[in-house]
Structure formats: C-alpha cells, structure tokens
Structure 1
Amino acid sequence: MLPLKETERVTTTQLQPKPIPALYTVYILRSQPRHASLYIGSTPHPPRRLSQHNGLAKGGAYRTSKKSLRPWDMVCLVSGFPSMIAALKFEWALNNPHKSLHIPAEKRAEAVKGLGRRKTGHLKRPRKSLTGVMESLRMLVGVRSFGRWPLRVHFFEEEVWRVWEKVGMKNAFGGLKIPVVTDFGGPTASSQGARVDEELLDPGIDGGDGNDDDDDDEDAQNEKKHGIYALPLDYTPIKEYVAKGQEIFEFERQGNCVVCKEAMAAGRGLYAICPKTSCEAVGHVDCWSRCLLKQEAKKVGMGRGDEILPTKGECLKCHGEVLWGDMMKELTLRIRGQAEVEKLLKKKKRRRAAAKGKVKGKGKAADEKGSNAEERNAKGNREVKTTSQRIVEDSEDSEFLDIAYL
C-alpha cells in the first residue's frame, strides 16, 4: 500500500453517541373519510407528525397527501424504543409482514397467498387491513427480538382496541406480555386534525413568566390533555431520577456496588442507580444485569437462558421494582446528554431567577418612584421656602420704603 502524501487527508465520519430518546414511537394512522386506508410510520413527536400528515404543517408523506383521505387519525402507537434505528426496524417489519423474518413462515406464506410479483421479481405488498395489522403487531411485540424492549402499546380508538383484543383471543401468540394503555376520552377525530399549538410543536418553548404557580397551571393543563397530546415529549417523567443521579455523582456518594460490594471509583466505569427516588443503591452495569437476569430466571422457574439484557427485577437494597429501560435511559442521559440534563434541571431555576428579577425590578422601580417623589417634595419645599423668603424680603423692603417715605 502506497504511503499517503502530505497534502492528502483522511476524513472519517464520527457518529456522536446520544442518550436514549425521551420518546420514539411507531404509529398507525387511519383515514377518517375512509377507514380502510391505513398508514404506518415512526416519529419522536406524534402531535407534530399528525399535523404534518393532515397538511397543517410542513412535512408529511406522499401517501397521506390526498385530500380525499384527510383528515387522518392516530388510532394506535407503540412507544418505548431505545433509538430511532430500533423504531425504524420495527416500522419496516410492521409494514412488510410478508418479508420480515420475525413473522412465522406460515404466516408469511398466508400473507402472500394469491399475490403476484412485480416486474422486478419481488412479491407485491399485501393490502393492509386493520385485522392484519393488529395480528402483525401482536406477533412482533411478542418475539424475543422486540419483546425485551420496554415497549408499550397505546390505543386511542375503542374500535381499534377491540380488534386487538379479538385477534388476541382468536390466536394464541407466545412471548412476553406487553403493557397496553387505552385513552378513549381524548380529542375526537375532527379535533385531532386541528392545527397543533406552537407549544406542542416545540416542547422547548418556555412561555412562563417565572412564577411557581405556572408549574401548577401546566400540570393542570396536562391533566386535561388526552390521546397523543398527553404523551410526555421530554424527560420530565424521570426528572427526579435524573436529579438524584446528578447529585450522587457530583458529590461522589456512589460508595460500594450494591451487588458485588466492591468500591466504585468516580468516573472510571458505567454505574447505574436504582430508579426509586428514596434509594441511592448504585452498582456496576454488568453487576445489575447479572443480578436481574438471575432474578428473572428464578421467577420463571428455569435455569439461566441466553438473554443478554434483563427487562426488570428487584433492587437488593430497597426491594423496589427496577425497570431496566428506565435505568438505561437515566444512565445514557447522564453520560451522553449533558445538554438535555441542563435543560431539564435548570428550567425551573430559570423561572425562579426570572421571578426574582421581576420582583427586583419592581422594587427598583418603587425605589426610583419613591426617590422621585422625595425629590419632588424637596423641590416643592425649596420653592415654598424661597417664596416665603421672597415675601418676607418684599415686605421688609416695602416697610423700609414706607418709613423712608414718611
């Protein structure tokens, strides 16, 4: 191999590591005018993406751009993906059940039965139906490739949820049980197609005036939100967890590993923390993993399998539930997302500082107002005094003149 010349430079693309996203979803859209039309996509911001599909914001997709199919409703979504790539893999498998190896071979053969081939030789994609999509969704969340992720299925239309339940009763799918969340009291189909507020489009906008009462007002407003508009778009649900981790490692209170009991040097390893707010159990990531995997195997009643990562378990110190997904989200946020952490923890501080500045400004204005009033009073007194002196002087002069005249 010839040596490189001095003028030649070798450039490599370095991917910056990122924390586990606060939210990344794979969603299912259904056309309001035509319920048979479905669309599957992925996004970290469901309200904004729905607005784009309905033509109320820039973006969207060509398949959802037909005016005859708008507005679209986001009837179901899956959350809990550890990265954008993971969500894209799941989206592709759900869009292509006839090709995905996660789907059993007999189901793939059944899906392509009677379909022809394209000119390129590839099989034609089967037409989507709500029942078929729910079957594929149940199979995908149950396979080991996706089943050990902290996934959760959300339903916003009762009809779609009933199809999910009907498919589950008809077919016995193996795999892990996945949490299912239903929210049917949210916006109607017409209101879901409405324009999204700027605050929803950009969760980083801070419209508060610095008062602590604003946080209570925001909490009250969040409680009134339903459907996709009630989903947490940032790391607020684990704010106390993140603050606890920052405090532990800032003051080097990690101590000994809760599992192996060995001392943990600051900044020399990957350390995970118990998610419970009142517990400060810290341990090596591999120690936590082995401990939780052992607990899972003991609970199932069989020997340790070939799983690499656990799903959940029990803390050895507080005996509270430990969710591996939440633990890894806090860990990656602590070591890779310093900007996100500062934004999360300093938001309230900025509001309080703004409130103090506002109060200070009012006090300063009051002081200035008071000093101006005092100056005006002093000036008035001086004018009165000058006037009285002038009167006295005038009276003395007049009396002198009168005497002189006499």
Structure 2
Amino acid sequence: MVRQSPIRLHSFPAFYSCYLLKSVKPVKAQRSPPTYIGSTPNPPKRIRQHNGEISQGAWKTSRDRPWVMQMIVYGFPSKPAALQFEWAWQHPYKSRHLRDSSGKPLFKAAGQTLNRRVLVAKTMVTAHPYNMWPLQVKFFTSESKKAWDKATVSRPLPAGLTLAEEYEGVDGSSGFPGSGRVGPIDVTDGQFSVQHMQKSSSIRTILRDSKCTICSKPVENFHSEPLKVAVCPSGDCLAVSHLSCLAADFLSSDSSRSAGLLPRGGNCKSCRSYILWGDVIRGCYRRHQGGRAPQLEESDREEDDIEAEANSDDLEEDPIPIVPVLPVPAKAPRSRVVKGETIKRPRGRPPKNNPSSKVATKRAPAVTKSDSGGEKFDVRGFTDLDDSESEVERRPSKPTPARQRK
C-alpha cells in the first residue's frame, strides 16, 4: 500500500485566529474588567457564543457578559499552530519561547488586564517561532490599539506584519467609524483564493513557457506540481519560480531576517515588493485544492483548551498525559461476620443515641441552567466537609475491660 505524502494531505485553513475579549459589565472601582483569550476560525460567530446569543459558549465567559472583541491575531498556517499561540498567550510565564538570553521567563505571571494581555501579544509576534509565521493583527477598539502603541518590546516587529484598525467591530455593529467595512469580517479567504486562481489562469494562457525568476530555467511542472511552484501573491504580479529557488533566495537575502531552514519572506524579483513565505505556501495549497479553502468547524471550548495544551510545543518533550477527572468511587460498606453470617453496617447519619459521633458529609454542587438548556454544575460549591467541621471525628472506642485477677 502506497502512502500519500503528508505535504499533500495538509490543508492551509481559510482563516484561524486568536482573539482577546474584554468584559464591559460594570465592576467595582478597585477591580479591573476581566479579559479572556481564545482561538477560533470564525470570530463573528464566536463572540455571539460568548455573549450567549447562540449555544456552545465558554462557561468561563458566562458570568461577565457582555464581552467585546478587542483584537485578533490571524494568519496561522494550521489549527495546531493557533492553539500553540493561544496556550502561550494564556501562559506566558510557562512558554519556553518567551525567555531572555539567560533562560529566565520574560513574564513572571500571566496578568489579566488589557494592557498586560496586549503586551504579551506584541512580545510574542516578535519572538521565534511566531515571527516566522505569516501573522497579522486587527484592532477592533481604540483602547486595544493604544495599549499596543504603549507596549514596549525589546525586539523589532517582523517585516511584513500589518496592523489594521477596524473600529466598526468584528461583526460590523459597534456603531463607530472604521475602515468602511459593512458587516462581519471575511473568514472565507475568498479574495485571496480568487485572485490567486485568476493569476494561475493568466499564466496558463499568456505565459505558456514560464521561466523561474531566480534560476531562469523553464518551470515545466507548473500545472502538474502546484506544491513545487511559487506564484507571487502580491497584487497583479505574475512572477513564477521554483519553490526551492525562492526559498534559497529569501534565506540568502538580508531582508529575510531569519537563520532557520525556512524564511519569513523576501522581495520579489519582479515587482520588488516584500512577500511573506507563508502567503506563498498558502497560494500553492489554494492551487493544489482547485481554489477551495477548507472551512474548519467551531468545536467546544473545553475541548480546544485540552488540545491547546496537548499540542503545545511549549510543554516538555514528555508531558504528563491529560487524563479526564473522574468521580472518586464510593467506598464499599464495612462488614462484620457474626456466627458465619455477613451483616452490613448501615450507612448514613449516626444513630440519635450517640450524638457525639459525626460523619463527614458532602455538599451537593449548585445546579444552574446553561444557555443551551442543559445543566451546569458549579464545582466551586462542592466541599468534602461541613463548614463547621475541619476533620472527621472518629467514634469513641469502648473502654478496655480490666484484667481479672488470677
């Protein structure tokens, strides 16, 4: 049986982002408004879930509604990459990528304020390996943009990183003027896909004998091997090159600012514009899939949280396996044997004639109705002992009878 290459099986998602929420629910003066970090392929739908307009919202955001999406970081080449970024954004003090030259963490704690969250995000896009990904940033509020401008980082922002201000909001209903967009943001990647397929058709009809802009040799496998041929993603440029030639040219140039096996980007030999390596690869997969961008479905938040930690490269090489927490089974009732018969001791409260004996009891968790109509258990109201008891008092033992005199 011949196995297909994992490169061919891979699919570049149409859209995947990590987002930052801030609650606009009135809070006490001494308390900062809560924030929340998550990841999703569909931010307009996800904010509705967080605000309870539709089902499958995260339980962590059910108490401090309504929420406003402040900013997103998008352009991830895969869902696991977005989950790794999300985990590090939530736990910057644990991430091995957010450390100084001596190996000490850049952040001692996560921090829950908006300014702290934005500072961590700005630091991350300048750190390896995130600075090699084709990431972009959108701001949906002036507050998040001011926090970004105020944040000071030690490394410069990577080349090709764009910062967009769209104050009309992620769904276009904030009421504030922004970039002129009407409606929610586009998560289908339709504009890029259509433009790239039009370029492919133009190259097929106009430039029948395409030559590599780097080595000047004919590109013979343009149609049969789209994953080996690069097309410039900038504007109307029709430059074509071998993917290996383009990677070597970007790595050798000073503009790549990278010392790894793959570049961040470089200047096109034809139009001279700076292009991201991730956008080049995205175009290859769009042509390989016939212009169709795969749409990723939204999954449950708790499953995403587990997957983010399970797939995060910030964990150790042999992480502790994630095991679901199961309820502790009840102990079997004690028994005693009397004349060959087994008699089970009754369970429950102690008899009334022995008030000094007390048994630890468990308080039932509070049950509320969730947005989807199901039950939600508040485990914080669950305790192993009564409030009045710090430990289990044992039943007093019977006094030992005096020994008989011989």
What TM-score bracket applies, with the shorter chain setting the length? 0.5 to 0.7
Do the aligned residues in 2 keep the contact of 1:77 with 1:153 (CA within 8 Å)?
yes
How much has 1:279 moved relative to structure 2? 3.5
Aligned to 2:113: 129
Amino-acid identity (%): 30
Do the aligned residues in 2 keep the contact of 1:27 with 1:74 (CA within 8 Å)?
yes
Q: Answer yes or no: is 1:151 the counterpart of 2:148.
A: no
Do the aligned residues in 2 keep the contact of 1:142 with 1:173 (CA within 8 Å)?
yes
Aligned to 1:323: 276
Q: What secondary structure, in the 3-state scheme, does the structure 2 residue paired with 1:154 have?
A: strand
* Comparing 93-102 and 310-319, the one that deviates more: 310-319
Q: What secondary structure, in the 3-state scheme, does the structure 2 residue paired with 1:111 have?
A: coil
Aligned equivalents of 1:152 and 1:187: distance in 2? 15
Q: Answer yes or no: is 1:172 the counterpart of 2:151.
A: no
Aligned equivalents of 1:242 and 1:340: distance in 2? 10
Aligned equivalents of 1:265 and 1:188: distance in 2? 45
Aligned to 1:242: 197
Correspondence for 1:181 among 164, 175, 189: 164
Q: Answer yes or no: is 1:53 the counterpart of 2:6.
A: no
Q: Mark the runs of 5 or more structure 1 residues left unpaired by the alignment.
A: 1-10, 113-125, 194-221, 344-406
RMSD: 3.6
Aligned to 1:271: 229
Aligned to 1:74: 69
Do the aligned residues in 1 keep the contact of 2:44 with 2:170 (CA within 8 Å)?
no
Do the aligned residues in 2 keep the contact of 1:254 with 1:282 (CA within 8 Å)?
no
Q: What secondary structure, in the 3-state scheme, does the structure 1 residue paired with 2:105 have?
A: helix
Aligned equivalents of 1:284 and 1:40: distance in 2? 39
Aligned equivalents of 1:341 and 1:104: distance in 2? 36
Aligned equivalents of 2:170 and 2:192: distance in 1? 23
Aligned equivalents of 2:171 and 2:232: distance in 1? 40
CA 152–104 in structure 1, closer or farther in 2 if over 3 Å, else same: same
Correspondences of 1:225-240 after superposition (within 5 Å): 225=182, 229-240=184-195
Do the aligned residues in 2 keep the contact of 1:75 with 1:156 (CA within 8 Å)?
yes
Indicate the structure (1 or 2) with the bigger Cα radius of gyration. Answer: 1
CA 318–76 in structure 1, closer or farther in 2 if over 3 Å, else same: closer
CA 224–143 in structure 1, closer or farther in 2 if over 3 Å, else same: closer
Do the aligned residues in 1 keep the contact of 2:21 with 2:67 (CA within 8 Å)?
yes
**What do the CA deviations read for 1:267-311 (whole angstroms, capped 9, x no partner)?**
25611112245443211101011112223x2x58xxx96222223
Q: Answer yes or no: is 1:310 the counterpart of 2:259.
A: no
Q: Which amino acid aligns with 2:13?
A: P
* Comparing 136-145 and 263-272, the one that deviates more: 263-272
Aligned to 1:101: 96
Aligned equivalents of 2:220 and 2:195: distance in 1? 24
How much has 1:92 moved relative to structure 2? 0.3
Correspondence for 1:28 among 9, 17, 20: 20
CA 252–163 in structure 1, closer or farther in 2 if over 3 Å, else same: closer
Aligned to 2:252: 294
Aligned equivalents of 2:174 and 2:168: distance in 1? 12
Aligned to 2:344: none
Q: Which amino acid aligns with 2:147?
A: V
How much has 1:154 moved relative to structure 2? 1.4
Do the aligned residues in 1 keep the contact of 2:14 with 2:188 (CA within 8 Å)?
yes
Aligned equivalents of 1:342 and 1:128: distance in 2? 34
Q: What secondary structure, in the 3-state scheme, does the structure 2 residue paired with 1:97 have?
A: coil
Scaled by the length of structure 2, the TM-score of the pair is 0.60
**What do the CA deviations read for 1:129-160 (whole angstroms, capped 9, x no partner)?**
22221221121111121012121121111122
Which structure shows the bigger proportion of residues in helix conformation? 1
Aligned equivalents of 1:99 and 1:73: distance in 2? 27
How much has 1:85 moved relative to structure 2? 1.0
How much has 1:174 moved relative to structure 2? 4.5
CA 325–305 in structure 1, closer or farther in 2 if over 3 Å, else same: closer
Correspondence for 2:147 among 163, 188, 204: 163
Do the aligned residues in 1 keep the contact of 2:215 with 2:245 (CA within 8 Å)?
yes
Aligned equivalents of 1:22 and 1:140: distance in 2? 22
Correspondences of 1:85-96 after superposition (within 5 Å): 85-96=80-91
Aligned equivalents of 1:56 and 1:249: distance in 2? 48
Do the aligned residues in 1 keep the contact of 2:14 with 2:293 (CA within 8 Å)?
no
Do the aligned residues in 1 keep the contact of 2:193 with 2:292 (CA within 8 Å)?
no
Aligned equivalents of 1:166 and 1:260: distance in 2? 45
Aligned to 1:333: 286
Do the aligned residues in 2 keep the contact of 1:26 with 1:78 (CA within 8 Å)?
yes
Matched positions, count: 279
Q: Which amino acid aligns with 1:17?
A: L
Q: Which amino acid aligns with 2:24?
A: Q
Aligned equivalents of 2:87 and 2:41: distance in 1? 16
Q: Which amino acid aligns with 1:138?
A: K
